[in-house]
């Protein structure tokens, strides 16, 4: 083809192949390239001597003008061969085009096929890539799978070609059906059903988009809240002050939230306060157990809960222990409305969660790693009163009445029952409970150490000391 163009120009009487910008042939203009000098070549086919030839691979990235005319001619030959094997009408229409000027129109005598623009672009990309591989040397042709190595970069460079009018003009039902079949072929049946459902109604896609947006927002909120909880855990365990936390936050502001967010998270860790006075602060047992179950489920996460069956989700039992005890403390210079009140003594009732079990076999879902540690201790009521027999009996009766009326806690579709054991007692409380239950009839005498009535009278011992004070 190069020789044809040069011959057409030489037939008009030119001395050089690059002396003018165009070749005039049959009253039509064909642009000719400006070619670098190489050597003198004699063309036997046309019996002509051409003084100036060019290097075909001088610059593989450059598209010469003669290449742009030869490629459509070659592409038409390829399309003509494909027309014999293809049966899809849309594919056939995508390969051919109407008549356009150029070398192919000069050579056409009524039997040539004009390729489409997509075919020409693919052939041009193949031409450039093939030139680059040839410049690597002859070793390229000795490699295996040469065709595959050439096809991959060609398809990659011509990716936009496949979004041509051939695909854009296809009916919607054909495109969706083809997508469904391809997804089923890959084993993605659920994705195929979604594609089918989206095209049933024009409003379905909007509903799917809204649902997906809300789901993504929920996931982002969960991830953000998890980061905040980790920051709160670090802040609490390290015992940081606000100033110290601000210094730590400056190292990574995107991970550590501001201090106001930590304050809100800390409030979420507290149950609702039932009553607060000068000498008493308390929460109801029902509220405290509901809050404890909620925080435990949040701590376990969705992964542990999703493994349970529907029957197991309704059979959860939270086993806890509770008890009461009194102590003396340093008095503060505080004035009470009632002059008889004092903060010299404190009496507290608290509970500790032990296990969260489920099923008939009582399988353990969560267990307290340190049941004897105050880490999981949750106060029920705190009062500024002295520990006496009457106060102990009053407190036990008050808490037992609330425990007896406990209801199940509903947390995220889970039903959690409560089982509270009165086991957090010392020797003094134990003696009071035994005497109140009728297991002990001996009178209680005063302890020589603390002068409190916490021991039965023992005639054999002149001086007795409560078991609580033996280490003192």
In this predicted model, what pLDDT tens digit does every residue of 93-127 receive, in sequence order?
888 888 787 888 888 888 888 888 878 888 888 88
Its domain, for residue 450, covers 439-472
Query: What's the rounded mean pLDDT across residues 233-239?
Result: 87
pLDDT for 169: 65
Q: Are residues 258 and 295 in the same domain?
A: no
Instruction: Say which residue, 247 or 466, is predicted with more confidence.
Output: 247
Asked if residue 243 has pLDDT above 70, the reply is: yes
Per the structure, how many domains does the chain have? 4
Is a pLDDT exceeding 90 seen at residue 217? no
Tell me which of 164-168, 184-188, 255-259, 270-274 is least confident: 164-168
Question: How many angstroms separate the CA atoms of 223 and 229, rounded?
Answer: 10
pLDDT at 118: 79
Check whether 315 has a pLDDT greater than 50.
yes
Confidence at residue 440, expressed as pLDDT on a 0 to 100 scale? 52
Given this model, what pLDDT does residue 140 score? 64
- The alpha helices in 186-203, defined as continuous H runs, are 189-198
Instruction: Name the domain boundary from 265, 284, 305.
Output: 265
- Provide φ and ψ at 31, rounded to 5°: -65, 135
Please check the confidence at residue 205 and state whether its pLDDT lies above 90: no
Are residues 359 and 420 both part of a single domain?
Answer: yes
pLDDT value at 276 more than 50:
yes
Assess whether 253 and 153 both reside in one domain.
Answer: no
- Given pLDDT bands bounded at 50, 70 and 90, which one contains residue 27? very low
Residues 337-351 have pLDDT tens digits of: 888 888 899 999 999
In a 13 Å sphere around the CA of 65, the CA atoms on its Cβ side amount to: 14
The span from the CA of 296 to the CA of 221, in Å, is 20
221 shares a domain with 92: no
Residues 6+ apart with CB under 8 A from 454: 427, 428, 431, 432, 444, 447, 466, 468
CA distances from 101 to 2, 20, 114 (A): 17, 20, 10
| Angle, helices 117-135/146-157, rounded to nearest 10 degrees | 130
First to last CA, the chain: 112
Picking from 407, 408, 319, the residue whose alpha carbon sits closest to that of residue 363 is: 319
- Own/partner pairs, 159-162, CB within 8 angstroms, 24+ separation: 161/118, 161/121, 161/122
pLDDT at 23 over 60: no
Q: With b meaning 16 or more CB within 10 Å and e meaning fewer, what string describes 159-193?
A: eebeeeebeeeeeeeeeeeeebeebeeeeeeeebe
Query: Which has more confidence, 54 or 330?
Result: 330
**166 found inside a domain:** no
Residues 465 and 321 in one domain: no
* Least confident interval from 132-141, 268-277, 279-288, 385-394: 132-141
The answer as to whether 15 is a domain residue is yes
Q: Which of 128-142, 183-197, 391-405 has the lowest mean pLDDT?
A: 128-142
Residues 58, 104 within the same domain:
yes
The arithmetic mean of pLDDT across residues 126-148, rounded, is 72
Please give the average per-residue pLDDT across 62-88, as a whole number: 81
Same domain, 54 and 124: yes
Predicted pLDDT at 162? 55
Q: Tell me what the mean pLDDT of segment 24-35 comes to.
A: 39
Instruction: Looking at the structure, tell me whether residues 232 and 280 fall in a common domain.
Output: no
User: What's the pLDDT score for residue 200?
Assistant: 78
**pLDDT at res. 221:** 82
Question: For residue 392, what pLDDT is reported?
Answer: 92
pLDDT(167) > 70 = no
Q: How confident is the model at residue 6 (pLDDT cuts 50, 70, 90)?
A: very low
On the CB side of 302, CA atoms within 13 Å amount to 5
Statement to judge: residues 10 and 151 lie in one domain: yes
Residue 8 has pLDDT above 60, yes or no: no
Query: Average pLDDT over the chain, rounded to whole?
Result: 76
Please choose, from the candidates 51, 56, 42, the residue with its C-alpha nearest in 3D space to the C-alpha of residue 2.
56
Q: Check whether residue 223 and residue 134 sit in a common domain.
A: no
At 66, is the pLDDT very low, low, confident or very high (cuts 50, 70, 90)? confident
- Residue 175: inside a domain: no
pLDDT of amino acid 171: 75
Name residue 367's beta-bridge partners.
Answer: 355
Is 125 contained in some domain? Answer: yes
Q: What are phi and psi of 224, to 5 degrees?
A: -65, -40
Question: What does the alpha-carbon distance between residue 299 and residue 276 come to, in Å, rounded to a whole number?
Answer: 29
pLDDT digits (tens, 9 = 90+) for 382-391: 999 999 999 9
Q: What is the pLDDT of residue 12?
A: 38
Q: Is residue 181 part of a domain?
A: no
**Mean pLDDT calculated for residue range 74-97:** 84
- On the question of pLDDT at 7 being above 50, the answer is no
Q: What pLDDT shows up at residue 409?
A: 92
Q: What is the rounded average pLDDT of the residues 265-282?
A: 90
Judge whether 347 lies within some domain: yes
Sequence-distant (6+) residues with CB within 8 A of 435 are 444
Give yes or no: residues 350 and 449 share one domain: no
Mapping DSSP to helix (H, G, I), strand (E, B) and coil, where does residue 136 land? coil
Mark which of 198, 233, 265 sits at the end of a domain.
265
CA-based nearest residue to 348, from 321, 397, 389, 387 = 387
| Domain assignment present for 190 | no
Residue 350 lies in a domain: yes
Identify the pLDDT of residue 402.
94
Q: Are residues 68 and 129 in the same domain?
A: yes
Q: Is the pLDDT of residue 166 over 90?
A: no
Angle among Cα 306, 307, 310 to the nearest 5 degrees reads 75
Tens-digit pLDDT profile for residues 371-404? 988 888 999 999 999 999 999 999 999 999 999 9
């Amino acid at each position: 083809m190069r020789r044809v163009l040069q011959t057409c120009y030489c037939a008009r009487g030119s001395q050089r192949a690059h002396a003018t910008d165009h070749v005039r042939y049959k009253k039509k203009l064909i642009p000719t390239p400006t070619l670098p000098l190489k050597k003198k070549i004699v063309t036997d086919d046309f019996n002509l001597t051409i003084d100036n030839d060019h290097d075909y691979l001088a610059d593989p990235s450059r598209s010469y003008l003669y290449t742009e005319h030869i490629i459509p001619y070659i592409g038409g030959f390829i399309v003509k061969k494909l027309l014999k094997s293809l049966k899809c009408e849309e594919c056939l229409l995508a390969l051919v085009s109407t008549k356009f000027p150029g070398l192919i129109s000069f050579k056409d005598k009524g039997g040539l096929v004009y390729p489409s623009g997509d075919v020409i672009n693919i052939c041009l990309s193949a031409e450039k890539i093939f030139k680059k591989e040839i410049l690597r040397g002859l070793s390229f042709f000795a490699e295996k799978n040469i065709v595959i190595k050439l096809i991959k970069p060609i398809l990659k460079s011509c990716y936009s070609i496949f979004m041509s009018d051939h695909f854009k003009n296809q009916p919607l039902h054909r495109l969706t059906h083809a997508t469904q079949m391809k997804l089923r072929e890959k084993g993605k049946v659920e994705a195929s059903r979604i594609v089918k459902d989206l095209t049933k109604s024009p409003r379905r896609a909007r509903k799917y988009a809204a649902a997906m947006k809300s789901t993504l927002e929920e996931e982002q909120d969960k991830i953000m809240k998890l980061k905040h909880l980790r920051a709160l855990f670090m802040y609490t365990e390290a015992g940081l002050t606000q100033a110290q936390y601000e210094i730590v936050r400056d190292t990574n502001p995107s991970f550590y939230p501001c201090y106001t967010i930590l304050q809100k998270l800390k409030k979420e860790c507290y149950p609702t306060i039932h009553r607060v006075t000068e000498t008493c602060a308390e929460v109801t047992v029902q509220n405290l157990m509901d809050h404890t179950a909620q925080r435990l489920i949040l701590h376990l996460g969705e992964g542990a809960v999703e493994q349970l069956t529907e029957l197991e989700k309704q059979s959860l039992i939270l086993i806890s222990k509770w008890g009461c005890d009194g102590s003396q403390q340093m008095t503060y210079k505080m004035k009470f409305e009632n002059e008889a009140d004092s903060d010299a003594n404190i009496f507290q009732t608290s509970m500790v969660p032990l296990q969260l079990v489920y099923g008939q076999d009582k399988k353990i879902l969560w267990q307290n790693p340190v049941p004897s540690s105050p880490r999981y201790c949750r106060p029920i009521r705190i009062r500024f009163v002295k520990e006496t027999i009457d106060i102990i009996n009053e407190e036990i009766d008050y808490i037992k009445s609330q425990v007896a009326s406990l209801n199940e806690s509903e947390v995220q579709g889970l039903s959690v029952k409560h089982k509270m054991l009165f086991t957090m007692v010392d020797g003094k409380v134990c003696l009071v409970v035994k005497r109140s239950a009728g297991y002990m009839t001996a009178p209680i005498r005063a302890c020589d150490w603390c002068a409190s009535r916490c021991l039965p009278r023992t005639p054999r011992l002149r001086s007795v000391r409560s078991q609580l004070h033996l280490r003192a």
